[in-house]
Amino acid sequence: MKILIVPSFYPTRERPTLGVFVRDQAELLGRAGHDVTVNSLESRSIRQLGPRTIAASHFQSETKVFPTHTENIRRGWNPLSQYPLGAAVWMMLAGRMAAREARSRAAGLVISHNAILAAAAVNRCRKLRELPHIITEHSSSILSGALPPWQSALASSAYVRASGIIAVSRALATRVSQIAPSQHRIHVIPNPIATDFFRRDPGHPPSRTTFGIIANLVPIKRIDIAIKAVAILARKGLQFEFHIGGSGPEEPRLRQLVSELGVGKWISFKGKLDRPQVRSALQRIGTLCITSEHETFGMIAAEAMSMGCFVISSNCGGPTDFVGKGNGLVLPSCHPESVASAMESRIHGHEGHDPEASRSHIESLCSEKSVATALSGVFQEILMNRTA
């Protein structure tokens, strides 16, 4: 089947992990025998505007051919897509780009990633509306409900018009159904995890005294809670390590907090990590902590479990689908005291944990084979409904 993927965001030179799950899906569909093309309309922040960046990104187009799929990239600058006028410009350009691809390659199925803005762009193009269209929803703003009225209207219209809807977690599926009750069943299919890549090296069992967070350092991740939890345990004189991997605007504030609490001995910042470096970091970490307000899925939690790590997570959405029952803890309320208590239980070995069972659990849910099989089932159901 010829599949056209239209993402709202996609990996870029500057942010190689942005929307990497979309590329993962394209690769696994290609390996499953589909003819896959991704059309990505990049939009960089105008804060990055300068002579060197203009030379690298001035609305040029590029096509990359991989063994599993083809990527059509159009580079540009942020047209203020968080506002109605800028969003309209983005959707117009993305829709035209996708329509040209659909005509030239005779696509049989369109998959958009996120109702805002990709699915809305598809729905505004008459040529694309003639094709079966599946929305795969990942958006944290959908999960949190933090949508201005115009975005809520876009999402609602997109869900109603779609041929099918996939959400990457049960919590997200619930929110989608509240925004736009649909005649379609909302399928819950997780993001694919490269379980063959995220495999712990033999002879390196997870340590009970090594903890970490790997995330973009942004306010929604609430990494300050974890730092305050470390301070609680440090005052008890416990011996452990806590690594923070990632970069972002919160880093100066978090470093200042570490200094103010006097926990520099326990906490280390590892900086921005690419995918191989994430694997190396998880190799050192025995327990991954997630203190986020919202997670639509929780890629890093699944990758950590694939590496045999224990996971301590806030009740933030996506991770609740697969964390618990011996492979981790979901905290009903996430605050420094609750995180510290869970970490202390882990240090003392009070939490039973079977690393191989954690890995097997993730393989059954999120391996590329499992996700490809689930996606193929949805494709068949949607195509059958259109021909019935």
Q: What are phi and psi of 296, to 5 degrees?
A: -70, -30
Rounded distance, CA 292 to CA 225, Å? Answer: 9
Q: Which of 184, 197, 206, 210 is nearest to 354 (CA)?
A: 206
The least confident of 185-189, 232-236, 309-313 is 185-189
Asked if the model's pLDDT at residue 366 lies above 90, the reply is yes
Reported CATH class of domain 2-192+367-387: alpha beta
Mean pLDDT is highest, among 54-58, 78-82, 161-165, 381-385, for 161-165
**How far is the C-alpha of 35 from the C-alpha of 352, rounded, in Å?**
45
Per-residue pLDDT, averaged over 5-20, amounts to 87
CATH architecture of the domain with range 210-366 = 3-Layer(aba) Sandwich (3.40)
| Matching fold, domains 2-192+367-387 and 210-366 | yes
What are the C-alpha distances in Å from 112 to residues 5, 23, 109, 211, 288? 6, 12, 10, 36, 31
Delimit the domains of the chain by residue range: 2-192+367-387, 210-366
Q: What is the pLDDT of residues 145-161, one digit of tens each?
A: 889 999 999 999 999 99
Question: What's 266's DSSP letter?
Answer: T
Which DSSP state fits 206? P
pLDDT tens-digit series, residues 248-292 = 999 999 999 999 999 999 999 999 999 999 999 999 999 999 999
